[in-house]
Amino acid sequence: MYREQIKVLDCTIRDGGLVNAHDFSVEFVRRVYQGVSAAGVDYFEIGYKNSPEFFPGAKFGPWKCCKDEDIRKATQGVENGAKISVMVDVGRVDMDAILPASKSPFQMVRVASYVKGIDKAIAMENRFSDLGYETTINIMAISRDAGPELDEAMDQCETQSRAMAVYLVDSFGSLDQEDIERLVHRARRFVKTKELGFHGHNNQQLAFSNTIESIIHGVNFLDATVYGMGRAAGNCTLELLLGFLKNPRYDVRPVLDLIADEFIELRGRHEWGYIIPHMIAGQLGLHPQDALDLRKTPERDDYRAFHDRMTSLLSQ
């Protein structure tokens, strides 16, 4: 599958940071950046650019609230480096502390929002655009917020925002290919002058196939992570996606080196990927937190009891 307009964004450090409380060393982040840049990836999402004062008492590593100096340490001097992206959450950023893009170590900002917060997301995105950044709006939990409010949110993204792309985010890993086809065509009724993006989770081992389905229907901004690292069931695997795209500017070999050198050992210390409780949560369209909590208990592998408890909660 080759299409020149396709852009691949690696969000290993940002989404993978949800696995280890964003506690990566600068050296590790630099190695990942070097690897995915050598692979030809277009964007590298290094973490969240949220402001620490919005998380009093919380303990997390440096990539939850990225400092410009840490971004520079991890990325400067890398030959043919991918563009640097950060993600922000609505209401968790001190905008007065954000430098113009011309003075910043990152080039793209992705604003994450649920449908109900789309007004605030657009206002924030437009402020980043005014500062000279490339921007996207990522509509989260799109499987759950699929009523007429979604149509209105997509129309607002088209008519009120200056974002270069609008992302459809399968936060719970509950969608299948037919859902993707339907959602992309639905989005195109409203989002006509901007690119569409897709971010999938792998609860049902469908993140890669759903990404392919989105490509078939014209989506050009694609998220993936090295070895699928990401919250709970993880994401579309970068190594599968690069191999599928058949684009000569992408080279999967540096990613294979990263997996062998860094991620096999990391996967032994931190759990992510296809695991039965996450599959159950995905099939039921549930947030992954209950499954994550289960995996920290002595009943971590009591799958049937978890299934029955979750289905019981849904029936109440």
Q: State whether 200 and 230 are in the same domain.
A: yes
Q: What is the mean pLDDT of the chain?
A: 97
Q: State whether 170 and 288 are in the same domain.
A: no
Question: What band does 244 get if pLDDT is binned at 50, 70 and 90?
Answer: very high
Residue at 232 is within a domain: yes
Residue at 1 is within a domain: no
Question: What band does 198 get if pLDDT is binned at 50, 70 and 90?
Answer: very high
pLDDT at residue 146, as a whole number: 75
The string of pLDDT tens digits covering residues 3-24 is: 899 999 999 999 999 999 999 9
In the numeric block, the tokens 């971004």 are attached to 71
CA-wise closest residue to 160 among 134, 133, 130, 125? 125
Q: State whether 160 and 87 are in the same domain.
A: yes
The string of pLDDT tens digits covering residues 40-56 is: 999 999 999 999 999 99
CA atoms in the 13 A half-sphere facing the CB of 168: 35
Q: State whether 300 and 153 are in the same domain.
A: no
- Using alpha carbons only, how large is the chain's radius of gyration in Å? 19
Q: State whether 35 and 110 are in the same domain.
A: yes
Q: What is the mean pLDDT of residues 69-97?
A: 96
Q: State whether 111 and 168 are in the same domain.
A: yes
Residue at 225 is within a domain: yes
Q: State whether 300 and 231 are in the same domain.
A: no
pLDDT at residue 316, as a whole number: 78
Q: What is the mean pLDDT of residues 129-158?
A: 95
Q: State whether 65 and 201 are in the same domain.
A: yes
Residue at 262 is within a domain: yes
pTM of this prediction exceeds 0.95: yes
Residue at 235 is within a domain: yes
pLDDT at residue 84, as a whole number: 98
Checking if the pLDDT of 315 tops 90, the result is no
CA-wise closest residue to 22 among 50, 56, 54? 50
Q: Domain with 158 in it: what CATH number? A: 3.20.20.70
Q: State whether 185 and 113 are in the same domain.
A: yes
Domain count, the chain: 2
Q: State whether 252 and 302 are in the same domain.
A: no
CA-wise closest residue to 284 among 315, 250, 246? 315
pLDDT at residue 1, as a whole number: 64
Q: State whether 216 and 291 are in the same domain.
A: no
Q: State whether 264 and 300 are in the same domain.
A: no
DSSP character at residue 98: P
Q: What is the mean pLDDT of residues 232-250?
A: 97
CA 53 to mean position of chain CA atoms: 23
Residue at 2 is within a domain: no
Tell me the residue type at 57.
G
Tell me the residue type at 111.
V
Helices (runs of H) and strands (runs of E) counted in the chain: 13, 8
Residue at 157 is within a domain: yes
CA-wise closest residue to 236 among 265, 212, 271? 212
Domain boundaries, position 284:
276-315
